[in-house]
């Protein structure tokens, strides 16, 4: 951030009074601009023991498969955002959403929330951010063509939970990225 969104003056990094970290502070109006993690919400839609995946038509990871997910919008719940993203990317309506997996990804300032849900009537299509959408059984998942580590982990955990037949407990995990020097 270079300029204040309130008055247009230049901002500088400094630690405001009663704070413990650097923030962008306006040199003119003294507004403090906070930078907080982004929340990504999505669904793990199931239909007849198959999972709905979308092939990305956008960067990052253009052409790779993923669960339908995206950035949460203001004035919606996380479940509403997950259902909206599923409609936008796969033209699919979902029901019976249950929070299944939460990932903290501090290295890129993101939090992911995936909801386990049922695909309504097994109907889906292709939204503007997808090249293709389709249902996959476990043996058909294109594991080497999945877009993101959190999607891989969510799918592996889902299939493991399904095989055990004991239900689908809510999971919490942290993705730790190693620095390039390690």
Q: What are 36's two structure tokens? A: 């907080």
* pLDDT score at 131: 98
Q: Tell me, what DSSP letter sits at residue 3?
A: B
Is residue 181 scored above 60 in pLDDT? no
What pTM was estimated for this model as a whole?
0.88
Lowest model confidence (mean pLDDT) among 38-47, 68-77, 169-178: 169-178
Report the pLDDT value the prediction gives residue 177, as an integer from 0 to 100. 76
Residues 142-152: tens digit of each pLDDT: 999 999 999 99
Sign of the four-CA dihedral 98, 36, 6, 2 = negative
Which residues are within 8 A (CB) of 103 and not within 5 positions of it... i.e. 6 or more apart? 111, 112, 150, 153, 172, 173, 174, 175
Instruction: Report pLDDT digits (tens) over 82-101.
Output: 999 999 999 999 999 999 99
Tell me: pLDDT of 122 over 80.
Answer: yes
Domains and CATH numbers, the chain: 1-35 (2.20.70.10), 38-174 (3.90.79.10)
């Amino acid at each position: 951030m270079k300029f204040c969104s309130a008055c247009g003056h230049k901002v500088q990094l400094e630690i405001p009074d009663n704070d413990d970290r650097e923030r962008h502070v306006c040199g003119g109006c003294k507004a403090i601009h906070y930078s907080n993690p982004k929340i990504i919400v999505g669904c793990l839609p199931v239909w007849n023991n198959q999972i709905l995946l979308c092939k990305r038509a956008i960067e990052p990871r253009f052409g790779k498969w993923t669960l339908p997910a995206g950035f949460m919008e203001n004035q919606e719940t996380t479940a509403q955002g997950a259902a909206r993203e599923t409609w936008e990317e796969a033209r699919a309506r979902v029901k019976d959403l249950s929070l299944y997996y939460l990932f903290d990804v501090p290295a890129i300032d993101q939090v992911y929330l995936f909801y386990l849900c049922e695909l309504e009537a097994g109907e889906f299509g292709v939204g503007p951010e997808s090249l293709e959408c389709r249902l996959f059984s476990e043996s058909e998942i294109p594991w080497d063509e999945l877009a993101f580590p959190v999607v891989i982990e969510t799918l592996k955990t889902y299939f493991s939970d399904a095989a055990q037949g004991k239900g689908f407990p809510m999971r919490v995990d942290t993705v730790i990225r190693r620095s390039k020097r390690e």
